[in-house]
Structure 1
Amino acid sequence: MISDYKGYLIDLDGTIYRGRDQIPAAARFIKRLQDTHTDFLFVTNNTTQLPDEVAKNLRENHNINVTADEVYTAGLATADYLDGIAGGKRKVYVIGELGLKQALLNRNFEFDETNPDWVVVGLDYDVTYHKFELATLAIKRGATFIGTNADTNLPNERGLVPGAGSLIGFVERSTQQRATYIGKPETIIMQKAVKKIGLDKDDVVMVGDNYMTDISAGINFGIDTLLVYTGVSTREFVAKQEIQPTHIINSFDEWK
């Protein structure tokens, strides 16, 4: 039941929509949260878009009336994480799109291709060998290596295309170093999301369609989970997992 929790951390793609396709039950679910004044925050591994763009897409294409304050991306989580540990080390080299770069600029980081303190790698639709070269050389010189999220593939209308994790993997191979990962299923993004929503972790539930990212993020963080069969994970796959989601539903219409 909705009233079981004070707050909901909710995945987007596969959970609230499927690419450009609407999930009407998801829109009804968000409306019920709003009507009952239940806090929620969309938590997404997307780093390419700013929260304003994500909220605009929800409003204009999926009948979900939300604001940018209700969206938390892996780009924001990366910037918040670095802001908390960087001190005076504010120079960063980024492989990524505007959503990630602007989040870092908003936390007073400055871009430096040759002598950065941090190398941050996320999804970049225009990635080149030269960008990988700069990242590799900077890490070899001592920059700390950060990866936004480990998603190896992204679903789109053409199939499964390379995700941020594939780009990060390239740099891991070229540097022989593993990145510190921020996004789901890691706990860093969950810690930051709970802080943003302003609730105790015992009062929130992680909602998603993907056992390996959304549900595992909740399990790793030690909070309840709600799996909805509208996206990636199948019943057969989930049944084989040692740790089961706290709740499983076929549609949000079942969660009243």
Structure 2
Amino acid sequence: MTHYAAYLIDLDGTIYRGQEQIPAAQRFIQRLQDQHQEFAFLTNNTTKTPEQVVANLAQNHQIKVQPEQIITPSLATAHYLQEQSLEPLGEKSCYIIGERGLKQALGDTGLKYNEFDPDYVVVGLDSDVTYHKFELATLAIKRGARFIGTNADTNLPNERGLVPGAGSLVSLVETTTQQRATYIGKPEREIADYALNLKGWDRARTAIIGDNYHTDIQCGFKAGLDTILVYTGVSTPAEVQQMPTQPTYEIASLDDWNL
């Protein structure tokens, strides 16, 4: 096994399954902290702010980290829009399908909320999504708004099983508009590049860890990172064996990874 200087670690299905704990994950994070190893959580979940993620990890999973160690598509999307815009974002507007984590990250850029003719429509996970929200998003994109999808996760693993993810919502809007979204989160490399630049980590000495071949591992492939697939969430060994490109490493549990 290679010894890496830093790790980008998925949350859903890797560190926990909804409210269900994964004991090996808590032990793994404790080992990283005991050895003063650099790591950050690279999640596709946009519903919570970094502070809320930190609180959930501490209260429900006995993992204590700092908000600076949480990297979400919400933050990466806000950064992407700032980088792409030729004007200050305070002069632009957006319509959002999403929850607090996404709304706060985009609001912090100065973007104004606009349901009718925004510059951007950003679609993320929203547990209270309605037909009306999809209607507003569709019409705004048809009027010329740029269409951004936070991530392509079709499912999220929680204690009940695999439930719909943000990608399912983005896909519906893609169907109604006949336009493909620009994706920022995993499996696209933008979120990994954002994380590496933010942390100042060496790409060649950083590995990405996750449970989903189609998002976590594909993100690693696209970003030129070594990949560690852990079988505690979405993907299965039988499925992965059929894939043309294999992860750098495959493990049954985070207990199996030697730092």
TM-score interval, normalised by the smaller of the two chains: over 0.9
**Alpha-carbon distance in structure 1 between the residues aligned to 2:108 and 2:157:** 29
Letter in 2 for 1:148: T
**Alpha-carbon distance in structure 1 between the residues aligned to 2:117 and 2:250:** 48
Structure 1 residue 41 and structure 2 residue 43: aligned?
no
Q: How many Å apart are 1:86 and its aligned residue?
A: 1.9
**Alpha-carbon distance in structure 2 between the residues aligned to 1:21 and 1:142:** 42
Structure 1 residue 72 and structure 2 residue 76: aligned?
no
- CA contact 1:149–1:183 (8 Å) conserved in 2: yes
Letter in 1 for 2:21: Q
Structure 1 residue 181 and structure 2 residue 183: aligned?
yes
- CA contact 1:40–1:197 (8 Å) conserved in 2: no
Residues 133-152 of structure 1 show CA distances to partners (whole Å, capped at 9, x for unaligned) of 21111111111000011112
Which residue does 1:202 correspond to in 2?
Answer: 204
Q: Tell me the secondary structure at the aligned position of residue 65 of structure 1.
A: coil
- CA contact 2:13–2:157 (8 Å) conserved in 1: no
Which residue does 2:234 correspond to in 1?
Answer: 232
Q: How many residues are matched?
A: 255
Q: 1:18–1:161: structure 2 CA closer, same or farther, 3 Å change rule?
A: closer
**Alpha-carbon distance in structure 2 between the residues aligned to 1:250 and 1:169:** 31
**Alpha-carbon distance in structure 2 between the residues aligned to 1:173 and 1:251:** 38
Which residue does 2:83 correspond to in 1?
Answer: 84
Match of 1:116 among 99, 115, 118: 118
- CA contact 1:205–1:226 (8 Å) conserved in 2: yes
Which residue does 2:140 correspond to in 1?
Answer: 138
**Alpha-carbon distance in structure 1 between the residues aligned to 2:163 and 2:76:** 23
**Alpha-carbon distance in structure 2 between the residues aligned to 1:232 and 1:93:** 31
Unaligned runs of 5+ in 2: none
Deviates more, 1:226-235 or 1:39-48: 226-235
**Alpha-carbon distance in structure 2 between the residues aligned to 1:99 and 1:211:** 25
**Alpha-carbon distance in structure 2 between the residues aligned to 1:243 and 1:33:** 28
- CA contact 2:13–2:158 (8 Å) conserved in 1: no
Which residue does 2:62 correspond to in 1?
Answer: 63
Which residue does 1:165 correspond to in 2?
Answer: 167
- CA contact 2:12–2:157 (8 Å) conserved in 1: no
Letter in 2 for 1:232: V
Letter in 2 for 1:156: N
Residues 175-205 of structure 1 show CA distances to partners (whole Å, capped at 9, x for unaligned) of 1110001111111111111112211211210
**Alpha-carbon distance in structure 2 between the residues aligned to 1:29 and 1:151:** 25
Q: How many Å apart are 1:235 and its aligned residue?
A: 1.3
Letter in 2 for 1:33: L
Which residue does 2:6 correspond to in 1?
Answer: 7
Which residue does 1:125 correspond to in 2?
Answer: 127
**Alpha-carbon distance in structure 2 between the residues aligned to 1:209 and 1:172:** 26
- CA contact 2:204–2:225 (8 Å) conserved in 1: yes
Residues 223-249 of structure 1 show CA distances to partners (whole Å, capped at 9, x for unaligned) of 101111222211111111111111112
Match of 2:95 among 93, 107, 121: 93
Structure 1 residue 254 and structure 2 residue 256: aligned?
yes
CA RMSD of aligned residues (A): 1.4
Structure 1 segments (4+ residues) deviating >6 Å: none
Letter in 1 for 2:216: D
Which residue does 1:17 correspond to in 2?
Answer: 16
Which residue does 1:190 correspond to in 2?
Answer: 192
- CA contact 1:206–1:224 (8 Å) conserved in 2: yes
- CA contact 1:75–1:100 (8 Å) conserved in 2: yes
